Amino acid sequence: MPYAETNGISLYYEEYGEGHPLVLIHGLGSSLESWSVQVPIYSQHFRVIVYDNRGSGRSEKPDYPYTMEQMADDAVGLMDFLGIEKAHFAGKSMGGMISQWIGIKHPTRVNKLVIGCSSAHRDEVGDLLLKTARNITDKAGPAAGWVFALFLGYRRKYIEDNYDALAKGIEEISFDPDAVAGYKNQSYACQNHDVLEDLGNIYAKTLVMYGERDLITPPERSKKLTELIPNAVEKSFGDVGHGFWRECQNDVDKTVLEFLKRD
């Protein structure tokens, strides 16, 4: 299995397709499998790299609070390992926060950015959600944490329509102490994320996307990214929340590909 030793950590990654590199960065407590629908689509046009963030999937899970800057350095270190000088980046939720840091700290490594359901900083409500999710995951396990996130992130109709597959996936989540620690340490990175004063340093062309009914990352916080990133445009998706990349997948993927292939 392919692993990259970078930034003091072992990262699991996979590659698909040919062309300009596109790095896909997943969200909190998830893994590269969250991009399983997008990989076959995007890899028709790009060299797609997906990987497990530190604390997730098959990557190393050191037990200390992570920072978003640190995880951005992980992504750029993976690029170095693969000999990639410049890439597109697409990140959802926490992955969008990591992408912000990449654009701020490593601007010469970025062609275009796609930031979905993400924000530049947290507020009291967001912190309460993160603390509650940590407590649920710690005491009841990752499966219970996923149920909590599922009902926050998706419409009930989507859950009903996809119940069998979602329930099967939740049943397969084991209580892995390392995975719990990794989730908690990622959540600290989310809680401490604040780049409001630095967004003006992102000069890559950026697409900001959000669901108009997002309870986890309110639309106004995504709109703030568009306002403060100089070359940003935005796209909203109606009647969906944090999980819009799945709930209206065809429209989202079309929007992403049109943006990345333009110019």
Going residue by residue through the chain, which has 263 residues, state the pLDDT in tens, using 9 for 90 and above.
799 999 999 999 999 999 999 999 999 999 999 999 999 999 999 999 999 999 999 999 999 999 999 999 999 999 999 999 999 999 999 999 999 999 999 999 999 999 999 999 988 999 999 999 999 999 999 999 999 999 999 999 999 999 999 999 999 888 899 999 999 999 999 999 999 999 999 999 999 999 999 999 999 999 999 999 999 999 999 999 999 999 999 999 999 999 999 98
Q: What is the pLDDT of residue 173?
A: 86
> Helices marked H in the chain — which ranges?
38-42, 68-82, 94-105, 124-140, 142-153, 156-161, 163-171, 177-191, 219-228, 244-247, 249-261
Identify whether the C-beta of residue 14 lies closer than 8 Å to the C-beta of residue 22. no
164 CB neighbour count, 10 Å cutoff: 8
Identify whether the C-beta of residue 234 lies closer than 8 Å to the C-beta of residue 210. yes
2 CB neighbour count, 10 Å cutoff: 12
Q: Phi, psi at residue 89, to the nearest 5°?
A: -130, 135
Distance (Å, whole) CA 63 – CA 60: 10
CA 32 from centre of chain: 10
Look at domain 3-261 and name its CATH class. Answer: alpha beta
Q: What is the pLDDT of residue 21?
A: 98
What predicted TM-score, i.e. pTM, was given to this entire model?
0.97
* Token couple for 56: 């997730």
Distance (Å, whole) CA 78 – CA 55: 15
Identify whether the C-beta of residue 110 lies closer than 8 Å to the C-beta of residue 21. no
What is the bridge-based pairing of β-strands 232-237 and 205-211? parallel
